[in-house]
A and B are shown apart, each in its own frame.
Chain A
Amino acid sequence: MVDSAGQKQKLKVGKAKPKAANFTDTSFKSKSIVLSRQSLSTSAPVATSQFSHHVSLLSHHSSSHRRDSLSYLTSTICTLPTGSLLPQPLSTFLPKLLPLILDISSPVRSQLLDLLKALPGEEIGAHAEKILLFIQSAMTHIAADIRADSTGFLLWLLDVAGDEAMGSSSGWVKTTKCFIALMGWGDGVNASRGVGKINFGKAGGDTKTTVKHLQAFMQFLARGLLTPLDPAGSPDDTMDSELTHYHNLISTNLLLPHPTTPQHLLPKTSNCYSHLNLFATATTPSEAETLEIAEDCEARRRLFKIYVKIVERGLEDARREGGLVGRAASAAYRMLERGMAAGEDDKDDEG
């Protein structure tokens, strides 16, 4: 310590160190101190914060923790009063959920499926493309049990948001390819090349899972190849109720200017021009696959023609195995034939 004269001040025992020349006193006096934000509740944390805590636990390294968090989330969502919003918007916590489709622990995956089923179905559609990516990844995962569970998720997605999933950029062709790889039907590129007798059980796993896969495949075909309006397709479809409404209007009221009016109205779905890749972002996988986006059944049928031979041969082999597998395979085969035939019927109609 140096004073103004340049002399060093001595330190004395029992006395505080002298303050520096440029010392600023920061102490102050006040009658009361008020904290603007503080939690004085003695009870448990509020449901919202607990919800977000469990969402953060989804990436915990212990599988039992992940499963417990999932089950908590499931029960929370199930017990929500109808019509109320989720504690967190779906778009923020769905990205946390989706990687769990590839989780190594099977209880986690089954719990995840329960949670997904509990989610409000109408909101899923907007995220269908992203979910599909993870499902595709699971379908081709190296671990057999993850592969086995993958079609369960697919079935759920087809059920909840089938049209969005089918219409998304990589929905139709890529999922078909993944199915071919999952079932071990040879390579999806080179159809003419005979791979010889394929050991059916090899990539497909045991009988039970094979049956599951085949059933999922059948559903997939039904969703993709058959138009909802088609009487053969799934009867309940609310999506095109408006269209039918217009049809009714046209038939009843001739005041409407033109029969194609509905096509010129504002689109019903969000991001319906995604295939145009207007924002040229990285989300586009590659040019070749951009062309493969199939908006409607007709386009899907056309794209599917490359794979028909492989799929038919694969189903044929499965059918020959007999038993549960054979039955499921023949059901899928019938669906395939019907789906492809439906296209030809349409063409005939047009012709």
Chain B
Amino acid sequence: MGFFGMPRSFNKTLCHVIGDLSQIVNRYLLRDPGLSKMLAVTIDAFEESIPNLVSFASSPAGQSPWERVSNANVWRGSKETGEPDVAMETSLFPLLRNFLGHLATPSIMGQDFMNNYPEVLQDVWNLDYGLMYLIAGLPLWLPIPTLRRAARARERLNRQITELHRAMDIAEDGGDPGKEWRDLRDVGLVIKERHRVWRSHKIPPHLRADLPLLWAMNANAPSLTFWVILRILTNPSLVERIRAEIAPHVQVSQPHIGFGMTEPPRLKISMAGLRTGCPLLKSCYFETLRVDSAAWSVKRVVKDFVLTEDEKDARGGTKRSFALKTGEYINIPFGLHQSDPRYFHSPESFIGDRFLVQGADGKDEVDIGSLKPYGAGFAICKGRVFAEAEVLAFVASIIALWDFEPASAKGWEIPDHVKASGVALPKTDVRSTTTKNSLAMGKRKIGALEKVEADLSYREEFLLQYRHYESQRDIFMSSPSSATTVGLVSLRDLIDFLAHVAECYPALSSKFPEDLMRLLALHHSELEPELREKLVGSLVLLRKKEVIDSVVLLQTLFPILTTTQSKSLRTLLFQKILSDLRSSNAKTTNHRLNRTIQTVLFNLLTSDRSSSKGIWAVKLTRELWKRQIWTDSKAVEIMKEASLADNAKVAIGGVRFFLGGDKERQELDDESSDEDDGIDLGKLKHQTGVTKKTKKKAKTLNKAIAAVKRKERKKNQPHPLNFSAFHLLYDPQGLAESLFSKHLNRASSKLNLEQKLLVLQLVSRLVGLHKLTIISLYSYFLRYLTPRQPSVTSFLASLAQASHSLVPPDVLEPLIQKIANEFVSEAAAAEVASAGLNAIREICARQPLAMNGTLLQDLVMYRKSKDKGTVMAARGLLGLYREVGADMLRKRDRGKEATIGLKSGGRKEPRFGEVEGGEIEGLELLEEWKAEQRRKRREEKDELKDGLDEQEEEDEEDWGAWDVEEDDSDSSGGWINVDSEDEIEISDDDDKPPVKRARTREESLVNGVGGTGGKRDIMTSSLATTRILTPADLAKLQELKVQASVDKLMGNSKRQLKERDTDSPLTAADIESVAFLSAGKDKEARLAKAAAGRDGREDFKSKKAKKQEAKTSSTTNKQKARKKNFLMTLGKAKGKQKRSLVETRKALRGHLERQKRGGKRGNQG
């Protein structure tokens, strides 16, 4: 007993007591009534605590002491990867040892003991580590840290136990042991009994040796538990078998509370079942004892005897004998036997069912054979039965309730042993990840994420909540403005809850949406903002769950949008309305809904033209137009109404839509189609071939392939017919007239200049595009055409846009005259003149007849101007009239082509009101090409044979090439017969009567103003009317057109008048054009302009320039000399060596003289 720190004299006293003490131990730890009592207490503690083994708390504050010492980390898994919700990584050994220690120590020593001395467990571990040294009786001054630590721990523990006994004494005497020992009733039975014995023998507290008991309870069982669990875990099949075996005896349940929530799991352990019904678990226990425990006994020889070696043990054939004398001590290590292959096959490996044998009744039983795990003889371990039961129960419940995974990827590793007093300790750390055993209790459900089933059993709860909502609502309604915050919060929460589950109980909550709508409609102005948002959100949620339909929702929200004062609510409503419209039109166009909403918007605009509410109609329509959700004429009609509104904001909103809506739509479309651009499929494929193959990369490739395929499919699809808003207008003339009369030509119009310009742009666009006639429009322009008018170029552009071939020339003539007078003169600034000339050219390009000869000749003279902008503008005008009215020009200005045309009579005069005949664009090119081909073939054939039946052959060939692809010739075979038909003259031979030479002037006029050569006209018309153009022809036509445009760009063919697209607007920038080139500006402006181009170029300056900027002077002569090339100085140095004495003297003197003078030229001030 010396090694437990008791004084030597104590042994004597102990002899008196030991009988009583061992009786107690026997009673409570070995035999049944006491043993079961003890076990019951322990099992209760297990059932209560084992679910708390791991708390999954990430901060140490929330963790239990055993988690803190075991270095816990918490991982949160994600659902997609199938990982458990939450897992905790810990060191297994400290976790289990401390957990069991925390469980067992209070049950023996009482909770107060544990609370007063939280370090008890650590001290016990330290004592255990050093117990070997203490037993060996090493002196304490030896420099062995383990020994010293153990000695100190022993001292502390003895002191603490003494304190406990002192307190128990005082309590026994009826005194107050102090506030630290408030409750001594929960001290374990064994200690209580022992205390009684100590007391009855009148042994003072400091001599009451209870430390061995404390050590015995904590040293072996916890480490043994660790080994058993680790040994079982390393073998997954063993885990499964043991779980199956213990399932009836250790039951795990997790009761549901309701609403999808669960309580913490509950554990029920049946000890009797574990002890008798689980042979495999028991076998594992013994096997662990065999492998991992190293018990040994120390015995005193009480009688002399001789020990002789067995035959098997004898080395070299001689049996050795050992004589043991009385009084000697012998040490019997059981570990040697346990690892002897003669008794246990493959002793170093762990075999779970090593000790399983078939019993008489066919059931598995445990036979431990010659294993002596607890020592032997009189001093056999007293607590073996209790320890066995404790370990079995603990292991079984841990295995049943928790899943352990090795934290390292290598799997479980069995650590090496450190020899301790009894069971070995692990040398290295074992990290494990602990999760709940999902098989036992099922996944914990999260109510909000998983839809609660519409179970009838929740019906009453729902009803209760619904009634509560009703009463809360009524309370709120009784005084909406003076509601308390608590009431508001509860009402909001209730609304949120009901909106989420309303779809499950449609009958009960049928009035709920109506309620919300009424609440919102009546009180939206005085509701608390958060509640208001919740109402809107709940309504949208109900719409998403299809409790209410879109029409109802939008008809509720829209009136509020237009009436509310709150900006945040407006934003929210607008966004919700828009997203709802988008989502209901996502799969197919919801015509009914669209029609309803369009009608609402239309009525909103027309009911009160002067209110600003219409702006919401404009915003909504524009947004939906942009996203191509509304593309019909009804939307355009809404915007038409908007542009005719009295309210300036609404009107301009409408006008802006017409001017920019289509462009916006196109841009959005381009943007969305551009996003897949830049995928280099080949590169991606190459990369996946070369680089590491991961799932992620494969996914990326698949995505890219899908994107490219989608894009290709899209490319092949016909372009959706997106008519512009202008083309969908029902009555452009009416709109243009009313816009003009309402906003422009009225004194009471409230629009400012900028807004008026926008309206003017729209009106002139309409006039130009649809060739409308508004005569008063042109006289309206007259008063704005002075150079001093602000943004006059916009007016000029609008005027040009508004002129077309059907405007009477005499209406335009005064305008042109005025522009010429006001703008184009030598006195005017250069850019003014060029703007005027450009404007005149643009007008005349649309209506050439508006010009008279004298003015034209006058204006053309400006091409000799000094200013470049003016020159270019004048040349443009000249070029235009060379094409459309060369006879008005002076002879020398006409140019070669026009002169020839005039002379030959091939040029025709344009007349007012004439309309160009329709033609297929580029048909003449095809015709030309065909003629060429025919000629070539004929030439070849002429060489070979007579041209008798060439005609038929040619035609057949022609029809053979019906389609672009030759593959489907069999299907087109039936078409070959067509050529025998008489109605259509398929061939067009050249031997027609030469009518074209004899055509009259009137005929030629039919072909329009911009028509090309007269000879071609007749031929094209005949080609289009006499032949069916095959797909192959059309393909060729396309090709020729592309070729022609390329030629034009490359300058292969003569310059032609730039053709203007009537669909694109004419802007002020076109009128100003190159005016910036004019030299009219002063030098500073020009310099500034040049400098503007050099902005942000500082970084690219040379180093030298940068250095130079910092300094004021340039480099000195010294600097230059230092940097001078060595080879250049070489010649001079050589020359110096060859100098004669005289020369040297001369040089030196010269130097002196120069110094005196102060430099070559002398210092002259």
Q: Which residues of A contact B (CB under 8 A)?
A: 59, 95, 99, 102, 130, 133-134, 136-137, 139-142, 170, 174, 177-178, 181-182, 184, 186-190, 195-196, 198, 202-203, 282-283, 285-286, 288
Can you list 8 contacts pairing A with B, beta carbon distance less than 8 Å? Answer: A95-B479, A133-B475, A136-B470, A137-B468, A137-B475, A140-B467, A187-B463, A195-B456
Q: How far is the CB of A66 from chain B (nearest CB, A)?
A: 12
At the interface, yes or no: B482 with Cβ under 8 Å from chain A?
yes
Does the CB pair B515–A141 fall under 8 Å? no
Does the CB pair A181–B511 fall under 8 Å? no
Residue of A nearest to B497 (CB): A142
Q: How far is the CB of B463 from chain A (nearest CB, A)?
A: 5
Bound-state CA distance A174–B479 (Å) is: 19
Which chain B residues numbered 910 to 959 have a C-beta less than 8 Å away from chain A? none
At the interface, yes or no: B1059 with Cβ under 8 Å from chain A?
no
Most buried by B among A134, A136, A140, A203: A140
Beyond known contacts A130-B478, A186-B460: 14 more, CB 8 A cutoff: A102-B486, A133-B475, A140-B470, A141-B468, A178-B467, A181-B460, A184-B460, A187-B460, A187-B507, A190-B507, A282-B477, A282-B480, A286-B511, A288-B511
At the interface, yes or no: B256 with Cβ under 8 Å from chain A?
no
| Cβ-neighbour of B463 out of A134, A142, A181, A283 (below 8 A) | A181
Q: How far is the CB of B542 from chain A (nearest CB, A)?
A: 17
At the interface, yes or no: B523 with Cβ under 8 Å from chain A?
yes
A198 CB contacts on chain B under 8 angstroms = 460
A130 CB contacts on chain B under 8 angstroms = 478
Bound-state CA distance A282–B518 (Å) is: 10
Q: Which 4 A-B pairs have the closest CB atoms?
A: A140-B468, A137-B471, A136-B471, A140-B467
Does the CB pair A137–B472 fall under 8 Å? yes
B698 CB contacts on chain A under 8 angstroms = none
At the interface, yes or no: B487 with Cβ under 8 Å from chain A?
yes
A286 with B518, Cβ < 8 A, contacts A133-B474, A140-B467 known: yes
Bound-state CA distance A55–B588 (Å) is: 61
Does the CB pair B460–A202 fall under 8 Å? yes
Q: How far is the CB of B654 from chain A (nearest CB, A)?
A: 38
A282 with B523, Cβ < 8 A, contacts A181-B467, A195-B456 known: yes
Q: How far is the CB of B512 from chain A (nearest CB, A)?
A: 11
A286 CB contacts on chain B under 8 angstroms = 511, 514-515, 518
Bound-state CA distance A181–B469 (Å) is: 12
Does the CB pair B464–A170 fall under 8 Å? no
Does the CB pair B478–A133 fall under 8 Å? yes
A133 with B460, Cβ < 8 A, contacts A99-B487, A140-B465, A286-B511 known: no
| Cβ-neighbour of A285 out of B465, B477, B487 (below 8 A) | B477
Q: How far is the CB of A91 from chain B (nearest CB, A)?
A: 12
Does the CB pair B471–A140 fall under 8 Å? yes
| Cβ-neighbour of A187 out of B459, B486, B514 (below 8 A) | B459
Does the CB pair B515–A203 fall under 8 Å? no
| Interface residues on chain B, size class | 20 to 34
Which chain B residues numbered 473 to 531 have a C-beta less than 8 Å away from chain A? 473-475, 477-480, 482, 484, 486-487, 490, 507-508, 511, 514-515, 518, 522-523
Q: Which residues of B contact A (CB under 8 A)?
A: 456, 459-461, 463-468, 470-475, 477-480, 482, 484, 486-487, 490, 507-508, 511, 514-515, 518, 522-523
Residue of A nearest to B462 (CB): A187
B461 CB contacts on chain A under 8 angstroms = 203
Does the CB pair B484–A283 fall under 8 Å? no
A182 CB contacts on chain B under 8 angstroms = 464
A196 CB contacts on chain B under 8 angstroms = 456
Does the CB pair A170–B474 fall under 8 Å? yes
A178 with B471, Cβ < 8 A, contacts A189-B507, A189-B508, A286-B511 known: yes
Does the CB pair B464–A203 fall under 8 Å? yes
Residue of B nearest to A138 (CB): B471
B466 CB contacts on chain A under 8 angstroms = 181
B479 CB contacts on chain A under 8 angstroms = 95
Q: How far is the CB of A190 from chain B (nearest CB, A)?
A: 6
Residue of A nearest to B515 (CB): A286
Bound-state CA distance A111–B49 (Å) is: 41
Residue of B nearest to A282 (CB): B477
Residue of B nearest to A182 (CB): B464
B508 CB contacts on chain A under 8 angstroms = 187, 189
A186 CB contacts on chain B under 8 angstroms = 459-460, 463
Does the CB pair B477–A203 fall under 8 Å? no
A142 with B465, Cβ < 8 A, contacts A134-B475, A137-B475 known: yes
Bound-state CA distance A136–B469 (Å) is: 10
A137 CB contacts on chain B under 8 angstroms = 468, 471-472, 475
Residue of A nearest to B514 (CB): A286
Bound-state CA distance A184–B458 (Å) is: 11
Does the CB pair A59–B456 fall under 8 Å? no
Q: How far is the CB of A130 from chain B (nearest CB, A)?
A: 6
Q: How far is the CB of A125 from chain B (nearest CB, A)?
A: 17
Q: How far is the CB of B738 from chain A (nearest CB, A)?
A: 42
Q: How far is the CB of A137 from chain B (nearest CB, A)?
A: 4
Q: How far is the CB of B317 from chain A (nearest CB, A)?
A: 86
A136 with B467, Cβ < 8 A, contacts A189-B507, A285-B474 known: yes
A177 with B464, Cβ < 8 A, contacts A137-B472, A282-B480 known: no
Does the CB pair B465–A99 fall under 8 Å? no
B486 CB contacts on chain A under 8 angstroms = 99, 102
Bound-state CA distance A187–B508 (Å) is: 8
B487 CB contacts on chain A under 8 angstroms = 99
Bound-state CA distance A288–B482 (Å) is: 26
B507 CB contacts on chain A under 8 angstroms = 187, 189-190
Q: How far is the CB of A102 from chain B (nearest CB, A)?
A: 8
Q: How far is the CB of A343 from chain B (nearest CB, A)?
A: 26
Bound-state CA distance A190–B475 (Å) is: 26
Q: How far is the CB of A298 from chain B (nearest CB, A)?
A: 25
Bound-state CA distance A273–B461 (Å) is: 36
B475 CB contacts on chain A under 8 angstroms = 133-134, 137
B472 CB contacts on chain A under 8 angstroms = 137
| Cβ-neighbour of B468 out of A142, A187, A203, A285 (below 8 A) | A142
Q: How far is the CB of A135 from chain B (nearest CB, A)?
A: 8
A195 CB contacts on chain B under 8 angstroms = 456, 459-460
A95 with B482, Cβ < 8 A, contacts A133-B471, A178-B467 known: yes
Bound-state CA distance A267–B463 (Å) is: 38
Residue of B nearest to A170 (CB): B474
Q: How far is the CB of B708 from chain A (nearest CB, A)?
A: 56
Q: How far is the CB of B418 from chain A (nearest CB, A)?
A: 57
Bound-state CA distance A59–B483 (Å) is: 13
Q: How far is the CB of B848 from chain A (nearest CB, A)?
A: 70
Bound-state CA distance A286–B468 (Å) is: 16
Does the CB pair A181–B518 fall under 8 Å? no
Residue of B nearest to A129 (CB): B478
Bound-state CA distance A190–B461 (Å) is: 16
A134 CB contacts on chain B under 8 angstroms = 471, 475
Does the CB pair B470–A174 fall under 8 Å? yes
Q: How far is the CB of B226 from chain A (nearest CB, A)?
A: 46
Bound-state CA distance A188–B470 (Å) is: 14
Does the CB pair B460–A283 fall under 8 Å? no
Q: How far is the CB of B953 from chain A (nearest CB, A)?
A: 89
Does the CB pair B456–A140 fall under 8 Å? no
Bound-state CA distance A95–B481 (Å) is: 13
Bound-state CA distance A95–B482 (Å) is: 10
Bound-state CA distance A174–B855 (Å) is: 92
Residue of A nearest to B493 (CB): A142
Q: How far is the CB of B944 from chain A (nearest CB, A)?
A: 98
B480 CB contacts on chain A under 8 angstroms = 282
Bound-state CA distance A83–B617 (Å) is: 65
Residue of A nearest to B490 (CB): A102
Residue of A nearest to B258 (CB): A202
Bound-state CA distance A187–B456 (Å) is: 11
Residue of B nearest to A179 (CB): B467
A203 with B518, Cβ < 8 A, contacts A136-B467, A283-B478 known: no
| Cβ-neighbour of A282 out of B465, B471, B515, B522 (below 8 A) | B522
Q: How far is the CB of A256 from chain B (nearest CB, A)?
A: 41
Q: How far is the CB of A271 from chain B (nearest CB, A)?
A: 14
